[in-house]
Structure 1
């Protein structure tokens, strides 16, 4: 398996595409985004290996975000490759107008629920409109968690591992390389940043709960290595996953602390306390992440929602004060 690094202006760092080209079929996991620069880079990487887009037999996509799916349509058009994605993301990847309209309507609803200022909404809408590519969309074959795919001419399979949270259909692909259990983790596990939950895909119900579950799945799997959607390989996937679990626990404390200091407040106010002034796509990610934690804490009984505002449940402020110098483990 070859890792191909592709440029990306997003904060996560360069995207990765993963190429299997040593067997009787050519397989690609993720394609990079829709930009012409990315296409040129991927074409050059193929050319170095004596390949062209027309040689691709199958494409597996980790999730619907454009920086992972942007070239799937053009490659399929040249090669006739079968494109696979989790059933929860297939309609968006195929460019289904009804699915995208439903997404946009839900986003608008959350912008109001979060009390996002109108001027920030305008900036965000412009940013999201400019992020869309003009490439043709692929036709998608769907898979579910646990589906296994044999690769012709290889001594290992790919198994889909559904890891919802960052995106509804986000999936990893587990395999065995040279006797090691490894996983192409997409955005479920990144080496530097923690994937956004709550804003990156507003369709996900209970986004933090689902993402924590996905991280625990990675911890329990004890993979030898993870190949992420951005940046370099992760040599201790379980350790990195546990670090992100701990990070979210710490962020939950910060949310509780904000409510303790400020009193009842809306999602946008909590977001401002956590992340400060937000620009570009972070206008979506900041309140989305804050909402994911507030919703999670509400179901845990630690936070109470009243309209658009949240407050600490009775007695929580006293517990926070008593535990000020100690670690308090939240019951998830």
Structure 2
């Protein structure tokens, strides 16, 4: 367990997915429990420390997720039951939330709104997933050292974030990174790995990584690659044999963006459909 200040507590929760490092960060962000991936003793203790072991004194007012992927939602129902907190889902994506979390939300929120009766703001950050949001505290842009954005799978301190077709939208992801970079948060609190102390540099690094990969995809197509697997072979220098399905889905997200922008032949749309990645 680690806490950056009195209002933010991070708990690493082991998950049985491809999550980086095998863990997902759950956060207690003011009165909101964000991304409880699984019930653990450490997270139970952190929740109880906030006064939420007792339904009559709910130190946790709401349970929310950045997006409805399995490694972020596994214990939403359990902690809602433990605390009596309000379960919150993103407006317009309730069915997706229910399918993943196994519980109906008590209320929905939209970007720009606050969560339940807290000061935690909902920030629109689609791209990694269509329902992806982040949760902000403090006033970004004031350089007070107190603003933070719990950003889920928008950013990581090292490496990169998967943006994989069919649900990953690369154009939306890049736009989300640009908005967060320009907002001026003091810290990013990612879904995996340590806190990010220089959000602008991290966002720029991730944008550059995606644009570099885009250039590799275009070069592979220009060199004659005629299907997704051939593009994967041309666009990646490293061995991706152990994660080829993810590499293919990532390339497909790049191809979908390039088709939408009119930068490659529209015939590629049918090639995406062949793999169920359109």
The aligned residue for residue 61 of structure 1 is 65
The aligned residue for residue 44 of structure 2 is 43
Once the two structures are superposed, residues 107-165 of structure 1 have per-residue CA deviations (whole angstroms, 9 ceiling, x without a partner) of xxxxxxxxxxxxxxxxxxxxxxxxx8xx743435221111124756xxxx111111111
Alpha-carbon distance in structure 2 between the residues aligned to 1:142 and 1:181: 24
1:118-267 matches, within 5 Å, as 136-149=102-115, 151=117, 157-176=119-138, 180-199=146-165, 202-203=166-167, 207-261=169-223, 263-267=224-228
Runs of at least 5 residues in structure 1 that lack an aligned partner in the other structure = 96-131, 311-332
Alpha-carbon distance in structure 2 between the residues aligned to 1:278 and 1:89: 34
The aligned residue for residue 288 of structure 1 is 249
Higher Rg: 1
TM-score norm. by structure 1 comes to 0.68
- 1:90–1:140 CA contact under 8 A, matched in 2: no
CA change 1:53–1:61 in 2 (3 A) is farther
Aligned: 1:16 with 2:16: no
Once the two structures are superposed, residues 278-332 of structure 1 have per-residue CA deviations (whole angstroms, 9 ceiling, x without a partner) of 44xx45422221011112222333311326459xxxxxxxxxxxxxxxxxxxxxx
Question: What is the number of residues matched between the two proteins?
Answer: 253
Post-superposition offset of 1:174:
1.3
CA change 1:72–1:150 in 2 (3 A) is closer
CA change 1:145–1:256 in 2 (3 A) is same
- 1:76–1:138 CA contact under 8 A, matched in 2: no
The aligned residue for residue 4 of structure 2 is none
CA change 1:79–1:147 in 2 (3 A) is same
Higher relative contact order (CA closer than 8 Å, sequence separation 6+):
1
The aligned residue for residue 4 of structure 1 is 11
The aligned residue for residue 85 of structure 1 is 89
CA change 1:11–1:71 in 2 (3 A) is closer
CA change 1:39–1:272 in 2 (3 A) is farther
CA change 1:150–1:12 in 2 (3 A) is same
Post-superposition offset of 1:247:
0.8
Runs of at least 5 residues in structure 2 that lack an aligned partner in the other structure = 1-7, 273-278
The aligned residue for residue 300 of structure 1 is 261
